[in-house]
Amino acid sequence: MSGPHSLERVVIVGAGFAGFHAARTLSRLARGAVEIVLVNPTDYFLYLPLLPEVTAGILEPRRVAVALTNNCPGIRFLLGTAYGVDRAARRVLYLDARGDHRSLDYDRLVLAVGSVNKLLPIPGVAEHAYGFRSLAEALYLRDHLLREVEIGNATEDPVERAACRTFVVVGAGYTGTEVTANAQLLTKDAVTRCPGPGDQEVRWVLVDIAQRLLPELDLRLSEAAHKVLTKRGVDIRLHTTVEEATSGGVRLSGGEFVPSRTLIWCVGVRPDPLIESLGMTTMRGRLVVDAYLNVPGHSEIYACGDSAAVPDLTRPGEVTAMTAQHAQRQGKRVAHNIAASYGHGERKPYKQHDLGFVVDLGGTRAAANPLGVALTGFPAKVVASGYHLMAIPSNRLRICADWTLEALLSRQVVQLGMVPPSSVRLAATAEAPAPPGAVRRTG
Ligand SMILES: Cc1cc2nc3c(=O)[nH]c(=O)nc-3n(C[C@H](O)[C@H](O)[C@H](O)COP(=O)(O)OP(=O)(O)OC[C@H]3O[C@@H](n4cnc5c(N)ncnc54)[C@H](O)[C@@H]3O)c2cc1C
């Protein structure tokens, strides 16, 4: 899709927290004045913070998928994956849904491609670990956990049964902590529902090199999460790393081998490889922008969210953290600054303080610090649930219905088997994209 167009065109690449909100805000500010095109590989914006509840079987997968076509009035949506930018010609190069090469001219470009699982060079991890960033990974993990519980129940061998019921999570940031908290309750439930020989124990091991859980968050949240998980029997290993992963288990630093068939990799993320491939200035893989979210020397290119190194004006010398909160507000700021570049409103730098965090700990537990006030237990759960309901742009009624059913009925312990393991192994989800020439044409 290239060639002359009458209205100026703003192309937004990536429909996550940053891109989705950039598109919607720009549509409100400058609808009719510019053409807005949103390019994304899926036809939904994935609300990542509720993904652990999909694995736990509390929310149906569609609840966390915000349909772009329903929620982006006045925006042209293109299903595709960008693989390059021709800056001289002002053109985005992308693969459409059939794998065909296409291009799209732009007058303003917003890069909001987010981040991908971070792979560390540890033997066996790429082959044996699973990441946690997509619906496919969340669904696969749910099936995998239930399958391991069921295999464990079917075996007479106590050593094999213990390995099946041992689950290792690496990374105790909010992703690893929330996944552990939610998935541990699922496996505990599953074990008691289909009792086999031997005891009904499940073992969860949460590993992090840091000295506390949630190292990037307020100490009070960290302590609250530690207390809840310890009480539930989670084996928390701090100051610890993984030295090797095999099909039979995980070797921790210090030499201990934990027999397990499950390694969940939540050690963090790195910016989408598209950013690196552009050959522009990056900082730890994130595209360098100024406080107006503009790429220096390219007044027509903006970047925001996890894939951009945005100066944090509240902490001079630092860049903003990779959080949904920043991504969403940066997306809105980009929209305002682009609208200003067309004469609608005023261009402003991005400056936002953290409003606090919510960490879902499964069941009726959470930890939160809205506006700096530390909450734990059920009050934190109410705040966390309310926050997510406010923050997700649609599906609210459906989410409330799922939460109500979860409170009233027992969980459905079933595997659907719809995601093949090869598509979600870390080796597949964390690898850099193939160069354009290597892409097979499918249509
Ligand atoms: C399980 C989990 C829980 C989290 N919980 C929280 C939380 O509670 N609070 C919080 O603040 N943060 C949380 N985060 C972090 C937060 O989700 C991210 O910081 C946020 O999603 C970043 O927004 P983004 O728009 O930059 O990227 P994303 O939301 O990841 O969106 C990027 C979009 O770009 C698309 N894309 C990628 N490459 C291309 C390409 N080449 N061409 C076209 N499109 C492309 C992707 O498909 C995606 O739609 C969580 C993350 C995870 C994984």
Q: How confident is the model over 255-277, as pLDDT tens digits? A: 999 999 999 999 978 888 899 99
For residues 56 and 432, the model is more confident at: 56
* Ligand 1 atom 23: residue of nearest CA: 17
Backbone angles phi, psi at 281, to 5 degrees: -70, 130
Q: For 88-94, what is the mean pLDDT?
A: 97
Closest ligand 1 atom, CA of 272?
38
Dist. CA 248 → ligand 1 center (Å): 32
Q: For 173-183, what is the mean pLDDT?
A: 96
Render pLDDT for 183-241 as a digit per residue (tens, 0 to 9).
Answer: 999 999 999 887 777 677 899 999 999 999 999 899 999 999 999 999 999 999 999 99
Closest ligand 1 atom, CA of 16?
31
Q: For 405-422, what is the mean pLDDT?
A: 89
Q: How many helices (H) and strands (E) does the chain have?
A: 14, 26
Decide: 191 and 147 in contact? Cβ < 8 Å: no
pLDDT class for 4, splitting at 50, 70, 90?
Answer: low
DSSP states along 250-289: EEETTS-EEE-SEEEE-S-EEE-HHHHHTTS-EETTEEE-
Provide the pLDDT for residue 422.
83
Dist. CA 48 → ligand 1 center (Å): 7
* Token pair belonging to 126: 């790429």
Q: Which of 17, 59, 369 to mutate to test the pocket of ligand 1 (most atoms within 8 A of CB)?
A: 17
Cα 94 from Cα 96, distance rounded (Å): 6
DSSP states along 9-57: EEEEE--SHHHHHHHHHHHHHHBTTEEEEEEESSSEEE-GGGHHHHHTT
Ligand 1 contacts (CB < 6 A) are 13-19, 39-42, 48-49, 51-52, 81-82, 112-115, 132-133, 174-175, 272, 274, 305-307, 322-325, 327
Render pLDDT for 298-311 as a digit per residue (tens, 0 to 9).
Answer: 999 999 999 999 99
Closest ligand 1 atom, CA of 94?
42
Cα 95 from Cα 90, distance rounded (Å): 17
Percent of the chain with pLDDT over 90: 81
Closest ligand 1 atom, CA of 51?
1
| pTM, to two decimals | 0.94
* Ligand 1 atom 31: residue of nearest CA: 16
Q: Which helix (H) or strand (E) holds 134?
A: none
Q: Which of 54, 79, 113 to mutate to test the pocket of ligand 1 (most atoms within 8 A of CB)?
A: 113
Dist. CA 160 → ligand 1 center (Å): 37
Dist. CA 107 → ligand 1 center (Å): 25
Q: For 163-185, what is the mean pLDDT?
A: 96
pLDDT at residue 182 greater than cutoff 50? yes
- Min mean pLDDT across 53-57, 309-313, 425-429 is at 425-429
Render pLDDT for 110-134 as a digit per residue (tens, 0 to 9).
Answer: 999 999 988 889 999 999 999 999 9
Dist. CA 16 → ligand 1 center (Å): 5
* Ligand 1 atom 9: residue of nearest CA: 324
pLDDT class for 403, splitting at 50, 70, 90?
Answer: very high
Dist. CA 14 → ligand 1 center (Å): 9
Render pLDDT for 322-338 as a digit per residue (tens, 0 to 9).
Answer: 999 999 999 999 999 99
Query: What residues contact 49, with CB distance under 8 A and at least 6 apart?
Result: 178, 324, 358, 360, 388, 391
Q: Integer distance in angstroms from the first to the last C-alpha of the chain?
A: 16
Percent of the chain with pLDDT over 70: 95
Q: For 359-384, what is the mean pLDDT?
A: 94
Closest ligand 1 atom, CA of 321?
19
Provide the pLDDT for residue 213.
96
pLDDT class for 438, splitting at 50, 70, 90?
Answer: very low
Closest ligand 1 atom, CA of 113?
34
Return mean pLDDT, the chain: 92
Residue indicated by tokens 């009792």: 195
Q: For 85-99, what is the mean pLDDT?
A: 96
Dist. CA 45 → ligand 1 center (Å): 9
Distances in whole angstroms, Cα of residue 110 to Cα of each of 123, 148, 435:
37, 43, 22
Provide the pLDDT for residue 441.
27
- Min mean pLDDT across 103-107, 319-323, 381-385, 431-435 is at 431-435
* Ligand 1 atom 29: residue of nearest CA: 16
